[in-house]
Amino acid sequence: MTGTTVHLAVYDTFADWEPGFATAQLTQHGHTVRTVGLTTAPVTTMGGMSVRPDLALDALDPGDSALLVLTGASLWDTGDALAPFTRAARTFLEAGVPVAAICGATAGLAREGLLDARPHTSAVSFYLAATGYAGGAHYVDADAVTDSGGESLGALVTAGPTEPVAFAREIFGLLGVFEPEKLDAWYRLFHDSDASAYEVLQG
């Protein structure tokens, strides 16, 4: 799938390194990445960078998007300031549009009830258990997990905070950025520093 728009949620304290592997390759393979904030006012990332969102959350339409990406942020663990983004995620999934969440964003999805009946992962199982969610039986101890969603829901990607490369791999697989052999090679190159994978990517 090429030529589609991917929306990256941005908010104060968002973990700016977590989506980088994904967004860099997406833009190099014909996709457009647009940032979406609560408003269009600039936000400050965890790394201290200022980002001005391309659009406000109330203007976000799942019909205009191939994927909503939610990253970690300190704010996920300090209150409900980011709850509008998890409500947006619910709207996306119910419209059949995929959502990808990493790090603290998985806790936000858990609080919204979006992980109660779907395979998922996060930092550790007890991190999500602390949210009081009902999905503990569906927790998978893996670097990243994609649940296809079936016929009625959009696919859902989840990953822990130490797995931005695996997170990107799942996004690429979902959007068809690489054929399977090259997807595996990309992961081996960037996750395992396997130099031999470079030849596969160039082939």
With residue 200 as reference, give the H or E element that holds it. Answer: helix 197-202
Q: Is 103 a catalytic residue?
A: yes
User: What amino acid is encoded at 198 in this protein?
Assistant: Y
Closest by Cα among 51, 73, 68 to 9? 68
> Would you tell me how many other CB atoms lie within 10 Å of the CB of residue 67?
26
- Is-contact 87 58, C-beta < 8 A? no
Q: Which two tokens stand for residue 7?
A: 């929306």
Residue 37 token pair:
């904030």
Catalytic residue, from 15, 103, 153, 157: name it.
103
Catalytic residues, which ones? 103
